[in-house]
Amino acid sequence: MSAPFRRADRGWAALFLLPLGLGLFLFNGLPLLQVAWNAFHRWDLLGPARAVGLANFGAVLADPRFHQALGQTVAFGALEVALEVGAGLWLAALLDAPLRERGVYRAAFFLPVTAGTAALAIAWGFLLDAQAGPLAHLFPAWPGLADPAWAFASVVVLSAWKHVGVAVLLFLAALSQLPEPVLEAAKLDGARGLGLWRWVTLPLLAPAVAVVALLGAINALTAFDWIYLLTQGGPEGRTMVLGYWIYQEAFEYFRVGRAAVATLLLAAAAFAVGALRRRTAEDAA
């Protein structure tokens, strides 16, 4: 008979933690450190790197394309958050009552979540194509993704379309956990329909709204796939966002230093959103 396990068994603990620590350090931590180093160097991905002090920061700040990308990332984020929260709440509210085929709708909203953007972009690229697509057949005036405003609207809507299924699920879960007595009391006081929603349900859903909004912000901040696949940042730079700008600087113009400066900004924003999420999670708990 052996002794029960000790929680302070450091040998086993170290062994169990080794693969995780190694993986996270090599492929997450170390790369971030290298981004910080890259930001102060001039490097083309192939040749030797050269220390250039703050030159990359100056170059990025002076680049009008970067300013455009930054502004459009903020606009992209605001619209994506509004769409995900708005559509998510609306659809969850419609689903939050008995309906025989409820599961079918919920699965439909979740379809795009399980699919890869590359595959979805083939389908949407065809649907929206100005020459071959069905939309162009129905509306001969449809300009396709060649029109800057329509292109921007399309990638925002598609990004929200892909993710809103998660928002619906989170809102449905939150709706199912609302305190019944509070709702009953409000109804007894005469609250009905939209008024009940505006003044009782919505405030109770605030933590879920915050989670969905922060998820939407991350989706917008890291948007890349749709833009690479459908618009390549154009037309006229109207769909250029931070994620695509970084990719282009590094892998098309080979200006790794400038890409790294923008990456630091992106990572800082992502960590801020992550910290906010943890705080809302703790508040909710």
Partner 1 sequence: MSPWLRRAVLLPVSLFFALPFALVALMAVMPPAALARFPGELAPFSPTLRHLRAVLGDPALSGYVWNSLLVSGATTLGNLAVSALGGYAFARFDFPFKRPAWGAVVATLAIPPIATVVPLFSLFASAGALDTRLALVLPGLASALGVVLMRQAFEAQGAGLEEAAAIDGASRPQAFLRVALPLAAPTIAALAALVFLTTWNAFLWPLVATHSEASRTLAVGLASYRSSFREVTDWGRVMAATLVALLPGLLALGAAQKAFVRGLGAGAEKG
Binding to partner 1 (CB under 8 A) within 102-161 occurs at 103-127, 129, 131-134, 137, 161
Contact residues for 204 (Cβ-Cβ < 8 A; gap 6+): 178, 179, 182
The residue behind tokens 């929260």 is 85
88 contact partners, CB below 8 Å, separation of at least 6 = 164, 167, 168, 170, 171, 212
- Distance in Å, CB of 124 to partner 1, minimum: 6
Measured from the CB atom, the residue of 25 and 199 that comes closer to partner 1 is 25
| Residue ranges in 9-28 that form contacts with partner 1 under rule CB under 8 A | 9-10, 12-14, 16-17, 19-24, 26-28
Nearer to partner 1, 46 or 188 (CB): 46
Q: Is position 8 an interface residue for partner 1 (rule: CB under 8 A)?
A: yes
Identity of the residue, 16 or 199, whose beta carbon is nearer to partner 1 in the bound complex: 16
Name the residue type at position 101: E
Token readout for 121 is 């972009």
Q: Does 216 bind partner 1 (CB under 8 A)?
A: no
Q: Which of these ranges, 32-40, 61-69, 70-78, 198-206, lies near partner 1 under the rule CB under 8 A?
A: 32-40
Q: Which amino acid is at 265?
A: L
Residues 237-266 close enough to bind partner 1 by CB under 8 A: 243, 246-247, 250-251, 256, 259-260, 263, 266
Comparison of 1 and 141: residue with beta carbon closer to partner 1: 1
Contact between 218 and partner 1 (CB under 8 A)? yes
Q: Which of residues 173-212 bind partner 1 (CB under 8 A)?
A: 173, 211
User: Whose Cβ is closer to partner 1: residue 181's or residue 237's?
Assistant: 237
- Residues 256-284 as b/e (b if ≥16 CB within 10 A, e otherwise) read bbbbbbbbbbbeebeeebeeebeebeeee
75 part of the interface to partner 1, by CB under 8 A: no
> Which residues are within 8 A (CB) of 223 and not within 5 positions of it... i.e. 6 or more apart?
73, 76, 80, 155, 159, 241, 243, 244
Site string for partner 1, 38-57 (x = CB under 8 A): x------x------------
Q: Strands 50-51 and 41-42: what pairing?
A: antiparallel
